[in-house]
Structure 1
Amino acid sequence: MTETARGAAASSARSWDPVVLWSKPESERAGTPLLVLFHGYMANEEDLMGLTDHLPADFTVAAVRAPRPVGPGFSWFPLAREPDYSMQHVVDSVSDVVAWLDSVKDQHTGVSILGFSQGMAVATTLLRHRPTDFTCVVGLSGFAVPAEDHAFFRDDEAARNPTPFFWGRDQEDQVITPEMIEFSHAWLTTHTTLTKILYSNMFHSINLQELTHVREYLTMTVLGRR
């Protein structure tokens, strides 16, 4: 079921109407924990919805489409190697996600977020801007962005209030650069309660073993069950 949700705050000069794919109809969402999925570069909101069958049924899952058309899909912001990359593009994109989340979160018992590849950069940036808002964060084959001293990133507060974070990746992933992995690892180990698992022969993707671990992690961390 696809719905369009109003994203940007009324005071914002930008306008973003995200396409959101929901796992449950609106009548069944109240009182459930929310898990928001952020897809990778040149993908769309349908890319991660196949994960839903491998996640705890207790969750309402919402997959959000990124705002920028690129290739066959969409991106959250330009890649660092692209000439139009800027920290302001990152901040603008994530600010719009924050406004949309604020419009839907109150009917849920809590909010957790999951990002794949560039979507992990969105998830970590959300956490760094709102360090106490999320029950847990899951990052798959992705990275965190350097803050460049931008005031949007409240890293000191994140370090004081470490959020449970699951990070899964393959050391043979050739898409995420070693420099980004090094930065991400340093940030996650000092600002979150980190569970890191490495997978073999997965490369830049998600495999069934990792999905099993994600399901177990969400079940224990959010639902309090084993």
Structure 2
Amino acid sequence: MHGYGSHENDLISLAPLLPEGTIAASLRAPLLAPHPVVNGFAWFTIGQPGNPRISALDDAAASVLEWLDRIEALHGTPPSIATLGFSQGGAMAIHLLRTAPERFAAAVNLSGFVVSGQAHGDRTMAETRPPVFWGRDVADPIITDAAIARTEEWLPSHSTLTANLYPGIQHGVSQQEISDASEFLGAAFAGAASSPAV
């Protein structure tokens, strides 16, 4: 899932770098990003930077889950589904897992954050600790210190966390980060395939 002001043709370029056999889908966020952004989209309004209303993410997550329902009705349920997003999309990747943890094998959060508030699946996440990858730069100039601190506190108690730092990427993505995320997803998919159905 793309970041604020971007579009569905952005992160899909990473698809060839994901584990072999992965089918990737890149969605356009539901909101048109306001001026001065041109031809860009947003998953939720920014509001207070780093602390958007959780209800805004609930709305976006519901749209994604409805899309996923339609895809599964047409093509069947895939063996494993993971979420991956950058910045706002990273926040969405985590929030989808918080909303419907039973539907996703893992989440990849690239330079994103956890939103404050309670989500439907938070208790389940605390019990099952699904795998989550969090990559970032400590010098990220966009994500607030408060959002980073919240994410550092929340993810370890609600996931099996792989947290990596990538000095120099600022608010961006590096080749090494994507390589690490791909390796993480391969392990997560393998783990999901070997887990008994519940």
| Alignment TM-score > 0.5, same fold | yes
- What amino acid is the match of 2:170? F
* Distance apart, 1:138 and its partner CA: 0.6
Question: Structure 2 CA distance, aligned partners of 1:121 and 1:109?
Answer: 24
Contact 1:54–1:211 (Cα < 8 Å) also in 2: yes
Question: Structure 1 CA distance, aligned partners of 2:145 and 2:86?
Answer: 17
Stretches of structure 1 lacking an aligned partner (at least 5 in a row): 1-37
TM-score between the two structures when normalised by the length of structure 2: 0.86
* Distance apart, 1:153 and its partner CA: 3.0
Q: Secondary structure at the match of 2:57?
A: helix
Question: Structure 2 CA distance, aligned partners of 1:59 and 1:49?
Answer: 12
TM-score between the two structures when normalised by the length of structure 1: 0.76
* Distance apart, 1:223 and its partner CA: 3.6
- What amino acid is the match of 1:48? L
The 5 Å alignment of 1:78-93 reads 78-81=45-48, 86-93=53-60
- What amino acid is the match of 2:182? R
Length, aligned pairs only: 182
1:40 aligns with 2:10: no
The structure richer in strand per residue is: 1
Task: Single out whichever of 186-195 and 130-139 deviates more from structure 2.
Answer: 130-139
- What amino acid is the match of 1:202? I
Question: Structure 1 CA distance, aligned partners of 2:54 and 2:189?
Answer: 31
Instruction: Give the equivalent residue in structure 2 for 1:202.
Output: 169
Percent identity over the alignment? 37
* RMSD of equivalent CA atoms: 1.5
Contact 1:121–1:142 (Cα < 8 Å) also in 2: yes
Contact 1:168–1:210 (Cα < 8 Å) also in 2: yes
Instruction: Give the equivalent residue in structure 1 for 2:23.
Output: 60
- What amino acid is the match of 1:220? A
Stretches of structure 2 lacking an aligned partner (at least 5 in a row): 192-198
- What amino acid is the match of 1:56? P
Runs of 4+ more than 4 Å apart: none
Contact 1:40–1:117 (Cα < 8 Å) also in 2: yes
Contact 2:141–2:171 (Cα < 8 Å) also in 1: yes
Q: Secondary structure at the match of 1:222?
A: helix
1:103 aligns with 2:76: no
1:24-70: CA deviations, max 9, x gaps? xxxxxxxxxxxxxx110000001101111211231100000001111
Question: Structure 1 CA distance, aligned partners of 2:13 and 2:30?
Answer: 21
Question: Structure 1 CA distance, aligned partners of 2:8 and 2:120?
Answer: 26
Contact 1:170–1:201 (Cα < 8 Å) also in 2: yes
